[in-house]
Amino acid sequence: MNGKGYTPIDREWMSKALALAEQAGKAGEVPVGAILVQEGQIVGEGWNQPISGCDPTAHAEVIALRDAATKLGNYRLPGTTLYVTIEPCTMCVGALLHARVSRLVYGAAEPRAGAIVSQLQLTESAHYNHKIEVVGGILADQCSELMTNFFRQRR
């Protein structure tokens, strides 16, 4: 989960997620972006929208899952990889598990609320009937810098 096990294409997809995160930041949202890929194609994308959408569940990951589920006509999304710029929170990990996402690739760790390695290790819990392959740390510096700059401007 430390950036090992990723491919050059993973870096390309994460760059696309970073562009969505920048879009969120420009809209005044916490800059997190996510894309869902299946068989080399983007099937869902999202960026944080809880403020503008007055929706506490409108995290980038959830928006990307909703987008893909609608496009594919199925709430289950096996064979997909989610790329997200920041380590997912508890809610988002739950959504990934329920959607049966196969692989998660995230950028920077989220020390306060991350539910993959930082605070909880939900994807390693034995009681879930679905397992997600996890790779973290891809373009972590760029992802982290985007968040740091956003919050620095807010203060």
Q: Which residues are catalytic?
A: 61
- List, in order, residues 6 or more apart from 46 with CB less than 8 Å away: 20, 33, 34, 35, 59, 60, 61, 62, 63, 64, 65, 66, 67
- What is the chain's alpha carbon radius of gyration, rounded to the nearest angstrom? 14
Tokens representing residue 27 in the block? 């809209």
- List, in order, residues 6 or more apart from 74 with CB less than 8 Å away: none
